[in-house]
Amino acid sequence: MVESFYAGKNLLITGCTGFVGKVLLEKILFSIPQVSRIYVFVRPKKGSSIHERFQKEIIESPCFDRLKKMYSNFDSYIMPKLIPVSGDMLKKGLGLSKEDHLMLKNNLNIIINSAASVDFNQRLDQALQINTLGTLRVIELAKQCRNLHAFVQISTAYVNCDKEGWVQEKIYPYSEDPQEKLKELLSIPVEIIEKQTPKILGKYPNTYTYTKFLTEQILIKEAQGLPLCIVRPTIIGGSWKEPYPGWVDSVSAAGVFYLSIGLGVIKVVMGNHNFIGDQVPVDCVVNCVIVAAAYACKVEKLSVIHIGTSARNPVTWKNCNNVVTGYWNRYPTEKRIGRCNLTLTPNYSVYKGLSYFRRQLPASILNTVAKVSGVPSLVKSSQKIKKLIQRESMISRVFSHFTMHEWIFESQQVIELLKVMSPRDLQVFDFDVSTLDWRIYLTNYSQGLKKNILKEKVETPDEPHALDLISEFKYYSYFSDIKWAYNTGKNTKTRDIKEMRSLILNASRVKKVIEELTTQKNPLTVKEANGQALEIIDVMISDLRMPVIRMFAWGLRKFWRAIYEKVVVNHNQLNEIAKIINNSNVPVVILPNHRSYIDFLIVSYLFFSFGIKMPYIAAVEDFLEILLINKLFKYSGAFYIKRGKGGDSLYTAILTEYVQQLLKDQQVVEFFIEETRSRSGKTAPPKVGLLSMCADTYYQGAAPDVKFLPITINYDRVLEGETFPFELLGEEKVRESLSRIIKAVKILSMNFGKIHIVIGDLISLKDFSLSLELNPVTNESHRIPVTKKLSQEIVLRLQENLAILASTLVASVLMMHRRGVSEDELIKKVEWLRDEIKHRGYRVAGLGAGNASIAVRNALNHLGSVVRHKKDLFEPSVTVESDYQNILMLSYYRNTLHFIFALEAIVASAIFSFGEKLAWGEGVHKKRLMEEVNFLCALLESEYYLRESIRSPESQAKAIEMLIKRGIIEEIDNKYRIIRSGELGITFLCSLIWPSLDTYWIVITFSSALRYRDPLPYMKFIQSVQWFAENLFEDRSILYYESCSQDNIKRAVSNYENMKILESSSVGIVFTEDYLKDEVKSQELLDHINTFRKTSLIKMINQHDNFKQALLPEFPEMPKL
C-alpha cells in the first residue's frame, strides 16, 4: 500500500511555492501523516527569511485549510514534520549550507522535483537555468543520498509536442548529444540568444517545452543508477476534488485561456475546435506522482508515465469553450470588459478578418475620434483598447500551438498502476481520469479562477454531476432553439386513436360493465351505454403528437430561461434512465412529487431533452376548460381524469383499461401519487387508485414487471405559491382559464430562482413484492398490502430525496425570529441549519460548506414581498391584517424540512415544557420525559409521514441520541437537560412544533365550548374553528398565524378522530362518547396540551369549572355558531 511505503520516510519536495508543489505537499500531509519529515526547498528573498516565506506563501495558503480543519493540533502535530530548507535551484550545489547538505544526504529517502518555470515566454538561458540545470543539481544531490528509495521528476507530456498524433510513454531518440547541446546554448551571449531562439526551438512552441525536453534527454545518462521515474502531465488545470473542487492559485496554460475568456479579453483564437485539448486536474497529477514513487521508481528501468486525458477521456476545445463561456456569461466577473464570446478558427484569413472587425476596426474608429475630439476619457479608452488588442494577440500566439495541433498521449502506465493499487489506494489516491465529468470539472475550474484569482465571491457549486438545463443552451443563437427542438426528443410510436378506442370498448371489463348498465334497475340501451363509454374515452385518452411536443418544448425552453436561473438535475442518472426506459421491455411509471403545475411540464421537458420516451400524463379535467391549452396538453401526452369517480363503474373500467393498455404497449405513464399540490409544504399521504391500476398490470400477468420511478422536485420559489395561503384560509380555489394565463404574462419579468430535480432509484414491483415475502401474482389477498406498502415507499423516497433549498432555510430562520433578525445573524443561522440538515444525511442544494451570504441574499430576493427589510432587520412582511398570508407562505417553505427534525422537535418541546429550573438546571428524569414525549407523539402522529413511527421507542432513542450528539441536550444521572450552548437548536426545534400544538389546543377548546350545542357539519366546523383561531390570534392569545390554516385544522381533526377523541357523525363533528360524558377528561387534555405551548389562555383554563363561562364572553359571536 502507498501509505506503508511512505510511513516513517523523509521526503524532499522542490517547488512547493508553486501550484503543483503546494497541492502535492498538502495531499501528502492530509492522506499520509505517517511520513517522518518533509524537507521543503524555499529560496531566500530579500526582506524575508525562508521561515517567513514558508509560512506566508505555503502554510497560510487556503490550499491547507482542510488540513488545518482536520487537525486541531496542526501546529503541534503537522508543523514539526515540515522543515523549510534554504535552497536555490539556480545556484551551484542548490545553494545549500554544509549543514543542510549533510542533513539531506543522510536522511532523504524520497525526492520529488516539481520546481520549474512555466513561463512560456521566458528567455531561453533563464529557462535552462531553472528547468534543466536546476534539475541536474537535484540529481547530483540524489546521487549522494545514502538511502534513496525514489526520485520522481515532474516533466510535461509536451516534451514531444514537436510530433503529432499518438505519443508513446518513452524518451524518443535525439539526434544530437544533449549535454553538448546544453553547453552550446549556455555559451551563447545574452544579447544574441533571443534572436536565435526561434531557430533553436524549431518545432517547439516555447522555451518551457524545449528545456523540459532537453532535461529528459540528459537524464538518460545522468540519472543512471537512481530509482528514477518521470511523470509527464499534460496541461495542468484546477483541482477535480482535492483539496476542494476548482482549487487554483496561479494562472498558466489553460488557466490563462479560460480567465481571458471570462474577462472578455480574447474574442478569436487560431485553433480547430474539433481537436482534443488534453488537460488534467492538478490533484490527478499529484496522486499519480505519489503512487509512482511507491510503485514505479526502479533503478534498473527508467519509467515514463503520461498522466493526461486524451487517451482515456478526451474532450474537444469546442466543448471546453461552450462550458467555460457558459459559466462566465451566467456568472460574469465584475472586472470583465465585454461579453464572453470566443471563436476558434483554423483559417488564418478568417482569424485576421474576425480580429479586424471585432477589435481593430472599432479601436481604429475610437482612436480617430479620440484624436479629433481630444476628450481625455476617449484618449484613455483608446489606449486601453490598444493594449487589449496586443494582449489578445499575445495570448492567441502563445496558445494557438496547442489548439491548432492534436496529440493523443499513451496512458498504459497509468492503467498498469491502477491495476496494482489496493482498493484503499484507489480511493485515497484517485487519478482515474476516465470517470472525470468535463462539464462539472470545467465549471468548477472557472469558478475557482473567479474565486481565487479574481478574488470575487462565487455562488456555491451544485452537487456532482448536476446539469443546468437552462445554461446548457442559454447563449446560442435565437434560431438554435428551433434546431434543437427539431433534432431532440425520441419519436414515440403510439397506437392510433381509433385502435385505442376499439381496444378499450372491446375489453372484457368494459363490456362487462356495459352489460350491467343495460340490465340494471333503470337500464340503458346498448347504444346509450356505448355512447356514454365513447364519450368518456374521447374526453380521456391522449393524442400524443411529436410535432406538437417539439413546438411545446421550444416554447418551454424559452419560458424556463425567462423566469428561472437554473434547472438542476443529475445528468448521469438521466442518461442511465434513458437507457433503461428506451431499451427495456418492462413498462415504467413516473411518479413526481406535486408542488406546482410546473412539475409535469418540467418532467416532460427533461425526457424530451434526453431522448427518453415521452410520458402519458394523468391530468385533472380542470385543464379541459382552458381553451387551446386543453388541446396542447392532450397532444403533448396528457390524458384527462376526473377525481371522485370511484363509484362510477364504467368510468373506472375505462380508465383502468386505458392505463393498463398503455403499460402493455410499454409506454411511460406518469401521475402524482399525492394527487393534489401540497399547499402547506408538507408531504401528503399517497392515493393508491392509479397505482393499483398500474400494479394490476403485473399482478394479472399482462406485463413481466412494472417499474416505478420517483422524481423529487423542489423550487426556490413556487410559481403559483402566492395562491396557497388563500386556499389554506378557506377561499375557493381560483379556476384556471385562458384569460388568467394571458394575464399571467407579467411573470416573465420575475425571477423564480432554481428548480432542483432529484431522480430516484427505480423500484421493481416484482423485486419489491419478493422483499416483502409476498406473491401478489398467485395470491390475490397479497395485492392490497403490496400496493399499500409500495405507495408508502414511493412517498417516503420522494420526501427523503428532497433537496432542501436556501429559501427553505431562510424561511425557517425568519419564522424563529418573527420580530426581525439582522443579516449577519440570518446568514450565521442559515449556515448552522444547513450543517444540521447535512449531518442528518439529507441534501442541501446550492449551499456548500462555506459562507452562505450569496445564497441567503438570493433566497431573500426569491421570497420577495413575503419578507421586508426594516432598520437592518429582515422579518416577515406583516403590516396589516391582509398581510398575514405572508406568514403562511413562509410556513410553506419551512414545512418542507419539517420531516427531518420531526421527532427531535417533539423531544425538544417536551423537555422545554418542564421550565427553566428542570430543563436547564436539575434535569428532567428520563421516565417523566418519555411520558411527555409519548403523549406528544400520539397527539401529532398524523402530522408526519416517516419511515419509522414516531411512537417507536427505537426512533425516540435515536432522536435523543442525535440531540446529545449535536450538543443540544446532555444526559446526567439518568436525567436530561438543555445545554446553554444548544439554545439555538432548542429554539429552532420548538418553533417547528409550537404552531401545531396551538392548532390542536384550538380544536379542543372550540369543541369544548360547543359541547352542549348542535354539532356543526364537517366543513362548517373547519371554517368555524378557523374563524375562532383568527380571533385568538388577533387577541394575541395565540402567537402563530399558521395555526389558523385549514390544512392544519383538518390534520388535527383527523388525528383526534384516530385517537377516538372526536368523531364525524351524521350531523357533524362531535366528541366521542367518553369525552362527551366526561368534561373533566377534555379539560385534562387541554391542560396537558397547554403545558407544551409557548403561550396560553391562562384566564380560560385556571378554573375549569368556569371554562365555558370564561370563553363565551371573550368571544360573544360563539353562541351564533
Predicted pLDDT of residue 796:
94
Both 835 and 724 in one domain: the answer is no
Pairing of strands 110-113, 10-14: parallel
Tell me which residue of 278, 392, 256 sits closest to 324, measured CA to CA.
Answer: 256
Under DSSP, is residue 192 helix (H, G, I), strand (E, B) or coil?
helix
Strand-pair category, 343-345 with 268-270:
parallel
Averaged pLDDT, 12-32: 91
Is pLDDT at 279 greater than 90 in this prediction?
yes
With b meaning 16 or more CB within 10 Å and e meaning fewer, what string describes 127-160?
bbbbbbbbbbbbbebbeebeebbbbbbbbbbbbb
Please indicate, yes or no, whether residues 551 and 622 belong to a single structural domain of this protein: yes
For the chain, percent of residues with pLDDT exceeding 70:
92
Judged on CB neighbours under 10 Å (0-12, 13-18, 19+), 1106 is exposed
Count the domains in the chain. Answer: 4
How far is 117 from 1019, CA to CA, in rounded Å? Answer: 79
Q: How far apart are CA 51 and CA 71, in angstroms?
A: 21
Using alpha carbons, select from 265, 199, 131, 206 the residue that is nearest to residue 397: 206
Side chain identity, residue 1051: R
Which CATH number does the domain housing residue 98 bear? 3.40.50.720
| Mean pLDDT comparison of 265-274, 340-349, 767-776, 1061-1070, highest-scoring range | 767-776
CA distance 313 to 324: 18
Give the model's pLDDT for residue 118.
79
Higher pLDDT pick, 739 / 550: 550
130 is a domain residue = yes
Would residue 138 count as lying in a domain?
A: yes
Q: What is the mean pLDDT of residues 592-599?
A: 91
Q: Is 612 within the bounds of a domain?
A: yes
| pLDDT for 409 beyond 50 | yes
The per-residue pLDDT for 1100 is 39
Residues 137 and 10 in one domain: yes
The C-alpha atoms of residue 399 and residue 427 are separated, in whole angstroms, by 35
pLDDT the model gives residue 224: 87
With H, G, I as helix, E, B as strand and everything else as coil, classify residue 551. Answer: helix
DSSP 730: T
Q: What is the 3-state secondary structure (H, E, C) of 259-305?
A: HHHHHCCCCEEECCCCCECCEEEHHHHHHHHHHHHHHCCCCCCCEEE
Same domain? For 778 and 817 the reply is no
Burial bucket for residue 1029 (CB in 10 Å: 0-12, 13-18, 19+): buried
**Looking at residue 719, which CATH number applies to its domain?**
3.40.1130
758 and 825 inside one domain: no
Distance separating the N- and C-terminal Cα atoms of the chain: 80
Give alpha helix (H) positions in 145-253: 178-186, 190-201, 207-222
Enumerate helices (H) and strands (E) in the chain, giving the number of each: 48, 30
Region of poorest pLDDT, from 675-689, 769-783, 973-987, 1049-1063: 675-689
Give 251's contacts (C-beta < 8 A, 6+ positions apart).
Answer: 259, 449, 453
Banded pLDDT at 1101 (limits 50, 70, 90): very low
Q: Are 713 and 564 in a shared domain? A: yes
Q: Are residues 170 and 95 in the same domain?
A: yes
Q: Taking residues 72-80, what's their average pLDDT?
A: 81
**DSSP at 223:** T
Place of cell 481537436: 275
The answer for 388, left when phi > 0, alpha when psi is -120 to 50, beta otherwise, is: alpha
pLDDT interval class at 469 (50, 70, 90)? low
Q: What is the C-alpha separation between 544 and 56, in angstroms, rounded?
A: 66
Residue 938 belongs to some domain of the structure: no
Distance CA 447, CA 567 (A): 19
**935-946, pLDDT tens digit by residue?**
999 999 888 889
Query: DSSP secondary structure string, 755-796?
Result: EEEEE---EEHHHHHHHTT--TTT-GGGHHHHHHHHHHHHHH
pLDDT band at 1 (very low <50, low <70, confident <90, very high): confident
Query: How confident is the prediction for the chain on average, in pLDDT?
Result: 86
Give the per-residue pLDDT at 466. Answer: 62
**Closest listed residue to residue 325, CA positions, set 269, 278, 276:** 269
Count of C-beta atoms within a 10 Å radius of residue 508: 9
Q: What is the pLDDT of residue 380?
A: 73
Residue 776, all three cell numbers: 401478489
Phi, psi of 975 (to 5 degrees): -125, 155
Given pLDDT bands bounded at 50, 70 and 90, which one contains residue 995? very high
Mark out the alpha helices in 470-507 (DSSP H runs).
Answer: 480-487, 497-505
pLDDT at 361 over 80: no
User: Is residue 1018 over pLDDT 80?
Assistant: yes
Residues 6 or more apart whose Cβ sits within 8 Å of residue 253? 118, 235, 236, 237
**pLDDT for 385 beyond 90:** no
pLDDT band at 1105 (very low <50, low <70, confident <90, very high): very low
Output the CA torsion 161→165→167→172 (10° steps): -60
Rounded to the nearest 5°, which phi and psi values hold at 584? -95, 150
CA atoms within 13 A on the CB side of 695: 25
**Among candidate residues 796, 818, 841, the one where a domain is terminated:** 796
Q: Which residues contact 41 (CB under 8 A, 6 or more apart)?
A: 12, 13, 14, 15, 16, 85, 87, 89, 94, 115
Q: Beginning with the edge strand found earlier in the chain, give each strand of the sheet holding 975-978 in spatial order.
A: 924-925, 975-978, 969-972
Residues 787 and 814 in one domain: no
Residue 780's pLDDT band (boundaries 50, 70, 90)? very high
Q: Are 1095 and 1043 in contact (CB under 8 A)?
A: no
Question: What was the pLDDT predicted at 739?
Answer: 63
State the pLDDT at residue 1103: 38
State residue 880's pLDDT score: 45
Q: What is the 3-state secondary structure (H, E, C) of 984-1024?
A: HHHHHHHHHHHHHHHHHHHHHHHHHHCCCCCCECHHHHHHH
CA distance 695 to 555: 35
Domain-terminating residue out of 837, 872, 896: 896
Higher pLDDT, 833 or 364: 833
Helix axes 902-912, 953-965, angle to 10 degrees: 80
The answer to whether the beta carbons of residues 1120 and 1027 sit under 8 Å apart is no
Q: What pLDDT band is residue 1003 in, cutting at 50, 70 and 90?
A: very high
Residue 751 pLDDT class (50, 70, 90 cuts): confident
Collapsing DSSP states into helix, strand and coil, what is residue 627? Answer: coil
Whole-number Å distance between alpha carbons of 968 and 920 = 11
Q: Residue 202: pLDDT above 70?
A: yes
Q: Are 507 and 660 in contact (CB under 8 A)?
A: no
Q: Which helix (H) or strand (E) covers residue 568, if one does?
A: strand 566-570
Flag the least confident range among 176-185, 518-527, 886-895, 1102-1111. Answer: 1102-1111
886: domain CATH number is 3.30.420
Whether the pLDDT of residue 440 is over 90: the answer is: no
Do both 779 and 648 map to the same domain? Answer: yes
Structural domain ending residue among the three candidates 776, 796, 816:
796
Distances (CA, A) of 11 to 28, 29, 39, 111: 10, 11, 6, 6
Asked if 123 and 33 count as a contact pair (C-beta separation under 8 A), the reply is no
Supply the range of the domain harboring residue 172: 2-250+280-316+411-430
- Whether residue 613 lies inside any domain: the answer is yes
Query: In terms of pLDDT, which residue wins out, 746 or 717?
Result: 717
pTM over 0.85: no
Residue carrying the nine cell digits 369549572: 1105
Residue 659 lies in a domain: yes
> What is the arithmetic mean of pLDDT over 567-587?
86
Confidence check: pLDDT of 913 > 80:
yes
Percentage of the chain modeled with pLDDT above 90: 45
**284: confidence class by pLDDT, cuts 50, 70, 90:** very high
Produce one character per residue of 430-442: b if its CB has 16 or more CB atoms within 10 Å, e if not.
bbbbeebbbbbbb
Asked if 22 and 13 touch (Cβ cutoff 8 Å), the reply is no
> How confident is residue 490, by pLDDT bands cut at 50, 70 and 90?
confident
**Residue 435 maps to a domain:** no
Better-predicted residue by pLDDT, 42 or 471: 42
Question: Measured between alpha carbons, how far is 319 from 106 in angstroms, rounded to an integer?
Answer: 51
What is the β-pairing status of strands 975-978 and 924-925?
Answer: antiparallel
Closest CA to 19 of 285, 258, 206, 260: 285
Which helix (DSSP H) or strand (DSSP E) does residue 706 occupy? none
Residue 676 lies in a domain: yes
The C-alpha atoms of residue 247 and residue 63 are separated, in whole angstroms, by: 8
Which grid coordinates are listed for 710?
420517483
Question: Are residues 1057 and 1032 part of one domain?
Answer: yes
Best-predicted range by mean pLDDT (297-306, 534-543, 643-652, 1005-1014): 534-543
**pLDDT band at 872, cuts 50/70/90?**
low
Is residue 181 within 8 A of residue 214, CB to CB? The reply is yes
Is residue 777 domain-shared with residue 714, that is, in the same domain? yes
Strand segments (E) across 375-495: 407-409, 466-468
Rounded distance between C-alpha atoms, residue 830 and residue 729, angstroms: 29
Residues 886 and 1031 in one domain: no
The DSSP symbol for 48 reads B
